[in-house]
Amino acid sequence: MMKEFRPISCCNNLYKIIAKIIANRIKPCLPDINSPSQSAFVAGRSIGDNILLAQELIRNYHTNIGCPRLALKVDFKKAFDMVDWGFLLETLAAFPFPPRVIKWIKALTTPKFSISLNGELVGFFSGKRGLRQGSPYLFVIAMEVLSKILSKRIADSHSFKFHSKCDKIKLSHLCFADDLIMLCHGSPSSAHVLKAAIDEFSLLSGLLANHAKSNIFTSGLSSTTNQQLINLFGYTVGSLPIRYLGIPIISTKLCLRDCSSLVDKVSGRLYSWLNCGLSYAGRSQLIVSVLSSLQVF
């Protein structure tokens, strides 16, 4: 039962309103702070960028030919509820945020909670972790530390190799809030760099990878090396297609079967308009409107 406890759910509405105001003050700073691999809640960046990149990089994973490749889809345990406040405050000071803003945020990290037992409040306890999921800008800043750790470890490593098609742009991961994909060459030395970065970030932030929900994907590896990487991370071996940011990611060319769910969704939205007697121009406008709304989502 206690495994599913979420401290943020105990906060009162006033706390949440103040947290939202502070988060909105932070929002304009995100484009200058976040690395290009992060596209969540940053002006000028789109969720579609991550989806298209992931789709392109996972292509042909099913063939197991070509250069060795490794992709990790990392799921953090209760991500928004596990961020350590001390880590977050140190991160804000390091970027640096003005002391006044940090002081405002720090004032929100001192609430005490009480448990209602049989209709009576019993005792108080202090919170130590957790961010408001409705305003996740602080979480995005926390995840930027992972980007910094990865960049430093890759720069310090003499054996790290980037994933296929990623060398020129130096891409090692795609991050949208707590949705994280990590990529590298399929060599054990490159994989160890990613593993060390995840472990260091977990130690600092309190965010731990959920091994049961995290997936590992490999291509172009021998069975021995493949098993070695699976043992290194301890993640579940994933199977394609996978769902990333709500969109299926496939490694083959699109076929009718892959588009069937999209066709059904569009048809379902248009079905209620069948008896409305629309002109051809009206039908065309309706179809464009439905398709546009799906693309934005």
In the predicted structure, residue 133 carries a pLDDT above the cut 50 = no
Give tens-digit pLDDT for 15-52.
667 777 777 788 788 888 888 788 777 777 778 788 88
Q: 215 or 79: whose pLDDT is higher?
A: 215
Q: Scanning the structure block, which residue is given the tokens 């206690």?
A: 2
Contact 79, 4 (CB under 8 A): no
Mean pLDDT estimate for the chain: 81
Kindly list the distances between the CA atom of residue 242 and the CA atoms of 20, 168, 194, 255, in Å, as whole numbers in the listed order.
33, 26, 21, 16
Coil, strand or helix: which one is 98?
Answer: coil
Residue 192 CA to residue 208 CA, distance in Å, equals 17
Give tens-digit pLDDT for 179-194.
899 999 999 999 999 9
144: nearest Cα among 95, 76, 190, 72: 95
Taking the CA of residue 48 as centre, how many other CA atoms within 13 Å lie in the half-sphere pointing to its CB? 5
Least confident of 2-16, 194-208, 212-226, 260-274: 2-16
Give tens-digit pLDDT for 143-180.
899 999 999 999 999 999 999 989 888 999 998 878 89
Instruction: Return the ∠ at Cα 121 (arms to 119 and 126), rounded to 5°.
Output: 145
In this prediction, residue 297 carries a pLDDT of: 45
Q: Scanning the structure block, which residue is given the tokens 């472990």?
A: 199
Q: Where are the beta strands (DSSP E) in 66-222?
A: 69-74, 112-117, 120-126, 173-176, 179-185, 215-219
pTM (2 d.p.) = 0.76
Residue 280 CA to residue 8 CA, distance in Å, equals 51
Coil, strand or helix: which one is 199?
Answer: helix
Q: Are strands 236-237 and 242-244 parallel, antiparallel or unpaired?
A: unpaired
